[in-house]
Structure 1
């Protein structure tokens, strides 16, 4: 999926989580958007890869694309690191929800992800799409509608 689809996916997922939890929705959603782009640090052409070129190149050289940074191992490692350095559950959970949304969206692509890294098993949904294709735009539109819906559920009381 493209960066914009990951961002709207992280936004929708973190808003949905905010609606059913008692965490600070502003922090949760902000962290969810950041978490949604972090796994693509392994790709130099991604939004985050272009911001951190050297780190992106090193990670890509060591692991390749859609392997370590798209795995449960990386998710657990990030959870431990975030818990060690950040003293706010809203930020930590938002970040992890955003990362999980990224994984789910990339499992809907033909290339899938190495969710069980270091095992070389590719995980993808039975029905997949091409990154940047028409189906992705439909997914983006659906996620946009869900973002409005969940956003109203979380922040509607302030309107």
Structure 2
């Protein structure tokens, strides 16, 4: 999936999670967007890879693309790290929700991900799409509509508190 699809996926997922949690929705969504981009630090051409090229190169050399940073182990370690440094709970939740949305979206691609890293099993959905293809554009539009739907409720809750 492309960066814009991951961003809208992080927004939609964070807004949906805001519906069922008591976290600060503004912090949750902001962190959800960041979390949705983090797994692609292993790819130098990604939005985050271009922002942090040195870190991206090191991660890519050590692990390759869609392995460690696209795994449940990575999700767990990021959660543990964020909890150890005592960041606001809304930010921690948003980052984890964003990372999870990234993993789910990349499981919908033909290359899949190494979800169970270090076990070298590729995990993907039975029906997949090509990154940047027509189906991804449809997913982008659907996630955009979901963002508006969930965002409407969140904004209403903030305004009418």
TM bin, normalised by shorter chain, reads over 0.9
Aligned to 1:120: 120
Once residues 34 and 86 of structure 2 are traced to their aligned partners in structure 1, the CA distance between those partners, rounded to angstroms, is 15
State the TM-score, normalized to the length of structure 1.
0.98
Preserved CA contact (<8 Å) 1:86 1:92: no
Runs of 4+ in 1 over 4 A off after TM superposition: none
How many Å separate the matches in 2 of 1:47 and 1:131? 15
| CA drift at 1:11 | 0.2
* Equivalence for 1:58: 58
Aligned-partner Cα distance in 1 for 2:71–2:59: 14
Q: TM-score, normalised by structure 2?
A: 0.97
The residue number in structure 1 matching 2:9 is: 9
How far did residue 88 of structure 1 move? Answer: 1.2
Structure 2 CA distance, aligned partners of 1:26 and 1:56? 28
Aligned to 2:131: 131
Where does the alignment leave 5 or more consecutive residues of structure 1 unmatched?
none
Q: How far, CA to CA, are the matches of 2:123 and 2:133 in structure 1?
A: 20
Aligned to 2:26: 26
Residues 143-154 of structure 1: pairs in structure 2 closer than 5 A: 143-154=143-154
Measure the CA separation in 1 of the matches of 2:32 and 2:85. 17
Q: Which runs of 5+ in 2 are unaligned?
A: none
Using the alignment, how far apart are the partners of 1:82 and 1:116 within structure 2? 21
Post-superposition CA distance 1:89-144 (Å, at most 9, x none) = 10000000000000000000000000000000000000000000000000000000
Structure 1 window deviating more from structure 2 (100-109 vs 81-90): it is 81-90
What is the alpha-carbon distance in structure 2 between the residues aligned to residue 43 and residue 87 of structure 1? 27
Count of paired positions: 159
Q: Corresponding residue for 2:42?
A: 42
Measured on the aligned residues, the alpha-carbon RMSD in Å equals 0.9
Residue by residue, what CA displacement relative to the aligned partner does 1:43-91 show, whole Å, maximum 9, x if unpaired? 0000000011011001001100000000000000000110011331100
Aligned equivalents of 1:85 and 1:144: distance in 2? 33
Q: Is the contact between residue 8 and residue 147 of structure 1 (CA under 8 Å) also seen in structure 2? A: yes
